Amino acid sequence: VDLNRKWSKPDISTSPTIYYLKRLLLKIHGVASNQKILAFIDMHGHSRKRSLFMYGCQEGKKSTEAYVELLPNLMNRRCEYFSLESCNYKVTKAKSSCGRVSVSRKLKIPFSYTIEASLCGSDTYHFHTSHFERMGRDTAKAIWDLVNPNQDIVKEVLQSLGVAEMENGIIEDDMEACGQQNGNPSSRREADVCPDVQKHSRSNQVQKVGKKKTIRKACPQSKSNSSTFVKRRHSKK
C-alpha cells in the first residue's frame, strides 16, 4: 500500500496512520478552531533525482500562483544542497490523492509541499546523515523566514518572483485570500474532509426511536472499528 496515495479517502483499516493524521489536521485547522496551520510539509526520500527539492500545488488564480514558489525560494537561500531547478509546482491527475494535494485542496492550508531528499546525493557527493540533519535545520530556518515579523526577506523574494509588495505581510494576506477563494475551512464538516468519518466515528450522536432514546459514545478501549457502545434509557411514563 502506497500511503501517499491514500490521502483523499483514507481507510481506518488499511491506512490508519493517514486516517488519524488527517483527522488531527482537521481538528487543529478546521472545525471550530481558532488556530490555523500555515504550512504542511511531507518529507520523502527520492530514488532517482539528485539533491534536495520541493513539489508544490500551483492551482487557482495566476495572481496567487507565484506564492507557491515563495517557500522553495526561501529554502534555496538557506540550504546549499537545495536545487530550485528540480522543483515542480504543477498538479497532475495522478497526484490528486497524495498528501500535499489533498491537504491543499481539502483543508485549504496555504503552503502545502512535498520535500524530496535524494537517496543518492548531489551532483558532486553522496549524502550521509549529517547532510540530512542539515536539511532539517535549514527547512526550519526557511519556515522562520516565512513567519518572521520582519518580512524584508519575504518581500525581496516576492519582488524577484515579480509579485507586488503586500501591505500587511504575506502571512495575514495569504491566509485571508485562502479563506475567501476556497471557503472558510472552519465551516467545513469533518465528514467533508475525511469521507470515512461518518462510517467509523459515531460519537455524541443521539437517535430517538419512539419513546426510547439511544445514546452513542466513543469507546476508547474497543477493538472494533466502529468503536461504539449503546446505552438505552426508557423515557419516564
Catalytic residue numbers?
116
**How many CA atoms, within 13 angstroms, populate the side-chain half-sphere of residue 4?**
11
Longest C-alpha distance within the chain, in Å?
83
Rounded Cα–Cα distance for residues 175 and 7 (Å): 23
Strand ranges across the sheet with 39-46: 39-46, 111-118, 52-55
Q: How many residues does the chain have?
A: 237
CA distances 182 to 58, 125, 178, 223, 233, Å, are 14, 43, 6, 38, 43
Instruction: Kindly tell me the burial class for residue 98, based on how many C-beta atoms sit within 10 Å of its own C-beta (0-12, 13-18, 19 or more).
Output: buried
